[in-house]
Amino acid sequence: MSSDPWIWIGAVLTLMIFSFLYKDNPFYKFGEHLFVGIANGYYIVYYWQNALKPNLFEPLSAGQFIYIVPLLLGLMYFTRFIPRISWVVRIPIGFTIGWGAGLSIPAYFQADILRQLEGTVVTPATFSNPANGIWAVIILIGVVCTLIYFFFSREHKGLLGSASRLGIIFIMIGFGASFGYTVMARVSLLIGRIQFLLGPWLGFID
């Protein structure tokens, strides 16, 4: 069993959080509140020390007065709390949206639309490996049918209805895969905690 007090603190807090599985209790509440408090404290100190201080206040104190511009833009967000001048908040929001849209729209088109469309194109070269060819056709059918499912301008009847129903199957398979991966992720976290309790704390495993 570990003699390191930090390992003990980690182990006891883990057990406090796990106690919720039986039912809600003061030990769980204590662990939860402690976590929220520490996380907030960590982020405040971290951003002050690693973002605000080196990127704003140090250059300002060194006489680089151009940094007054981002400082003012940042401060304008706080005008939300003063109803009389709350309209000022539109200036930094406009700046952020303008910068974000200008930067993101071409990048989104390129990475999320054009390259993804390319991925659905089936050419004779795709069939150089028959298995790849079959998968490419399945992807193409999946994309088309899923898009048809979200096409609401005509009633889903006849061919459109059949394609839409096939689209639902593809969507459901997607949801199933996501759910399976989510289960795997959550179980991994439990395994990690159990490895910590059995290893560094109790010393039963290496």
Partner 1 sequence: MKWYDRITSIDRRIIYMLLTVLVILPFFVNVNIPQKIMPQTQRLFDFIESVPPNDKAVMISFDYSPQTMPECHPMAQALLKHCFARGIPVIGLSFDPEAPGLALDALTRVVHEFDSLAAGKDDSLIYGVNYVYLGWKSGRIAAQLDMGESISGVYPRDYFGNLIETLPLMQKVNNYKNIAIVVILASADYPIDWIRYPQTRYGVKVGAGLTAVMAPQYYPFVQTGQVSGLMSGMKGAAEYETLVLEHGYARTLGTAETGMNSQSMIHILIMAFIILGNVGYFFSRRGKRKGTHE
Query: Which stretch in 59-67, 78-86, 153-161, 181-189 sits in contact with partner 1 by CB under 8 A?
Result: 181-189
Residue 110 binds to partner 1 (criterion: CB under 8 A): yes
Residue 51 binds to partner 1 (criterion: CB under 8 A): yes
| N residues, the chain | 206
**Calpha distance 190→197 (Å, rounded):** 11
Q: What x-and-dash track marks residues 7-46 binding partner 1 by CB under 8 A?
A: --------------xx-------------------xx--x
Helices and strands (H and E) in the chain: how many: 8, 0
- Per CB under 8 A, the list member of 25, 61, 162, 178 interacting with partner 1 is 178
Residue 122 binds to partner 1 (criterion: CB under 8 A): no
Structure tokens at 136: 């490419």
Structure tokens at 102: 């200008």
Residue 177 binds to partner 1 (criterion: CB under 8 A): yes
> In the bound complex, what is the minimum distance in angstroms from residue 190's beta carbon to partner 1?
6
Q: Is the dihedral of CA 146, 149, 154, 156 positive or negative?
A: positive
User: Of the two residues 108 and 151, which places its CB atom closer to partner 1 in the complex?
Assistant: 108
**By CB under 8 A, how many residues form the interface with partner 1?**
42
Say how many C-beta atoms besides its own lie within 10 A of residue 162's C-beta: 13
Residue 182 binds to partner 1 (criterion: CB under 8 A): yes
